[in-house]
A and B are shown apart, each in its own frame.
Chain A
Amino acid sequence: GESVGLHLPTLSVQEGDNSIINCAYSNSASDYFIWYKQESGKGPQFIIDIRSNMDKRQGQRVTVLLNKTVKHLSLQIAATQPGDSAVYFCAEKTGGYQKVTFGIGTKLQVIP
């Protein structure tokens, strides 16, 4: 969905704990979903993706879960590290020409 507001939701996590970042997407026709990490002063960086014919995908320390019934996406980060502190965005791809729309973002703060 489109971004709204100036105040990003913030998640504070103790170093070493697991983090779960949630995202509600807007279009039931979306067929591909991506999580991006954005550090201050940089462009978004790809983390992990998942297609709509899957409900779970794992990467290195990250797992994405997709629930199409309720249009919900989550990103799980295992053993969160200070370097994981950033803003995390989910994005959805819709349409044959691959329009990619970003969600509002969640700021992850890792407490040492």
Chain B
Amino acid sequence: EAGVAQSPRYKIIEKRQSVAFWCNPISGHATLYWYQQILGQGPKLLIQFQNNGVVDDSQLPKDRFSAERLKGVDSTLKIQPAKLEDSAVYLCASSAGTLGGEKLFFGSGTQLSVL
């Protein structure tokens, strides 16, 4: 079974530039998550989708971050404009989203450096 795919693997940009990350979840997984992981910390949830609808974006900085999940499959996360404090690993995860299917499967992440 293919895992969660993310791209790019690394990205370096200057502050005030924009950047986008892509995620392809495990086939059939209804729930998709984007987490931000700052060095030395645990992952922090940014946004959670159930199919193509948002169920939680309470910690997403909406003035600069946006995310979409078209057709309930792939998702993109965008930052515009980027700030220095956005330097982190952006992790995408998916789960079946059912009782007994709550386990999250993670991709390898995109490491973002904002200079």
* B42 and A100 contacting across the interface, CB-CB below 8 Å: no
Report which of A6, A43, A101, A103 forms a contact with B45, defined as CB distance below 8 A. Answer: A101
Whether B34 is near chain A, meaning CB under 8 Å from some CB there, is: no
Residues on B with C-beta less than 8 A from A8 are 40
Residues on A with C-beta less than 8 A from B95 are 98
Count how many chain B residues have C-beta atoms less than 8 Å from C-beta atoms of the other chain.
28
Residues on B with C-beta less than 8 A from A99 are 45, 48, 55-56
Residues on B with C-beta less than 8 A from A6 are 39-41
* B44 and A34 contacting across the interface, CB-CB below 8 Å: no
Residues on B with C-beta less than 8 A from A103 are 42
* A43 and B103 contacting across the interface, CB-CB below 8 Å: no
Residues on A with C-beta less than 8 A from B42 are 2-3, 89, 102-105
In chain B, what residue has the closest Cβ to A90? B42
* A44 and B41 contacting across the interface, CB-CB below 8 Å: no
Whether A5 is near chain B, meaning CB under 8 Å from some CB there, is: yes
Q: Which of B61-69, B77-85, B106-114 faces chain A?
A: B106-114
* A34 and B104 contacting across the interface, CB-CB below 8 Å: yes
